[in-house]
Structure 1
Amino acid sequence: MIALVFFAIVFLTALLSGIFGMAGGLLLLWFLLLALPASVAIVVHGVIQLCSNASRAWFSRHYINARIVAVIASGGALSAIALALIGYHPNTTIVSLLIGVMPILVWIPKAWFHFDAARPSHAFGCGIVAGGLTIAAGVSGPTIDLFFIRTAMDRRQIVATKAAVQVIAHAIKIVFYAGSALALSGEQWGVVALAVPFAILGTRAGNGMLRRLTDANFRYWTRWIVTVIGGFYLLQGLLL
């Protein structure tokens, strides 16, 4: 029964990510944190999200900007090295508070920011900030968005390029927390492996729904969904 509920959550959160590019990952990690220590939850989240984002990137591969992906990934690798050197180790309180305040970013007026992921220096800065948050908190979607709001990309290019960036970010995260993976038994990892097809199916379904959204509706609903999820995280962090 627990496995079936887990599969359903993976499918629905992948569906959400397929439409909006990030909200599903936030929600999936929240459920994982209810049952697992932070570092273990982050690595399980990384495995599922890597597969989900990889399928999303593949379905939208014609819209990916490979140059932006490469520059952002190099910044993320630098952040991972820095966090490894200081011996960073997460806990549920820190993760919840970090994610809980992220939705504030989607409400700040666009005029306040002059970031453009199409500019190499900005893309590298995005990699450093978002890469650090991906390892420290498990996710960084709202932060990455700040660097895409001034690009000339449409919603399909944004979702596709972000998916490719997240594939690399989650791979780095998995390597960073590889030791935590030993906390799960082979049977539990078997359940995680069985959940991967549900992530891919959810992503495919969400990708179809994305085509029917307008750019205006895409941005409007992303803002509200991320805010509500962030509110749950912030409340959890304050209670802890």
Structure 2
Amino acid sequence: MDAFALLPADLPPLTLALVSAASFCTSFVTAAFGIGGGMAMLAILASLLPPAALIPVHGLVQFASNAGRAALLRGHVQRGPLLPFLAGSALGAALGGLVAVELPPAAVEIAIGIFVLWSALASPPRVMRAGAGPAGFVSTLLTMFFGATGPFVAAYVKTLALGRMEHVATHATMMTAQHLLKVIAFGFLGFAFGPWLLPVALMAATGFLGTLAGKRALLRIDDRLFKRALAAILCLLAARLIWSGAAELL
């Protein structure tokens, strides 16, 4: 059997090669700096995949990417916030699956952008450290419509003031749970993941290689440089979100 015959009609071999290479690069960025790869991958897939498949397929790819990163760094995961985050995420996925109307994309982009920018530049109050449940609920609800809310979760994890290894490991574990719940919700909503399993498997494989390379880079930088790079990436992503949302409104 021709392996290419197993690919979705909307994903020719050359496009598959491009998204597989993109998965390596974006996974490297997230493993090395804790954030940025998921949103970059969403932007790339948005230009290559049919709209109906974009959010579900992106969720499955990001589940695999984050699961690999969480497994590699499992010894550094801070387990305290995980249970409330998971509970909030489950509620957010359930509610997101029941909402019949989409949230205004432009308003969502601007709101998340402002929050991420504030979190990157300001010193959040200590009360936010107890907000794993609300962070899981809001980010998972939004990801059902918006796709990439990694910066939102990273902004929450930043308030925990963790070291670079703990930050990346904890963020990856939270995102693994969030994307898994999103994939399950889209499955219940009737999205057919079957035709996309082979492309996702290839993207997961190249993404894991990117994670391995990114982990090596992460080990070589110190916490001070990591925090500066994280804040810079968060600011750039926030600016992109605000600009994109404002452009849609105008």
TM-score by length of 2: 0.81
Instruction: Tell me the residue number matched to 2:5.
Output: none
Question: Is the CA contact 2:157–2:171 (under 8 Å) kept in the aligned structure 1?
Answer: no
Matching residue's letter, 1:148: V
Instruction: Tell me the residue number matched to 2:186.
Output: 177
Q: What SS is found at the alignment partner of 2:81?
A: helix
Question: Is the CA contact 2:105–2:245 (under 8 Å) kept in the aligned structure 1?
Answer: yes
Instruction: Tell me the residue number matched to 1:44.
Output: 57
Instruction: Tell me the residue number matched to 1:32.
Output: 45
For the aligned residue pairs, the C-alpha RMSD in angstroms reads: 2.6
Q: Distance in 1 between matches of 2:87 and 2:232?
A: 31
Q: Distance in 2 between matches of 1:31 and 1:99?
A: 20
Please say if 1:164 is aligned against 2:173: yes
User: 1:21 deviation in Å?
Assistant: 2.0
Question: Is the CA contact 1:39–1:90 (under 8 Å) kept in the aligned structure 2?
Answer: no
Matching residue's letter, 1:198: T
Please say if 1:67 is aligned against 2:84: no
Identity %: 26
TM-score by length of 1: 0.84
- Number of matched pairs: 234
Q: Distance in 2 between matches of 1:140 and 1:69?
A: 17
Higher Cα Rg: structure 1 or 2?
2
Report the CA distance shift for 1:36/1:92 in structure 2 as closer, same or farther (over 3 A).
farther
Q: Distance in 2 between matches of 1:233 and 1:35?
A: 20
Report the CA distance shift for 1:92/1:151 in structure 2 as closer, same or farther (over 3 A).
closer
Instruction: Tell me the residue number matched to 2:4.
Output: none
User: 1:76 deviation in Å?
Assistant: 1.0
Alignment of 1:1-240 (within 5 A): 1-89=14-102, 97=110, 100-101=113-114, 103-110=116-123, 112-117=124-129, 119=130, 122-178=131-187, 179=189, 181-182=191-192, 186=195, 188-240=196-248
Question: Is the CA contact 1:95–1:136 (under 8 Å) kept in the aligned structure 2?
Answer: no
Of residues 155-164 and 141-150 in structure 1, the stretch that sits farther from structure 2 once superposed is 141-150
Question: Is the CA contact 1:38–1:92 (under 8 Å) kept in the aligned structure 2?
Answer: no
Q: What SS is found at the alignment partner of 1:147?
A: helix
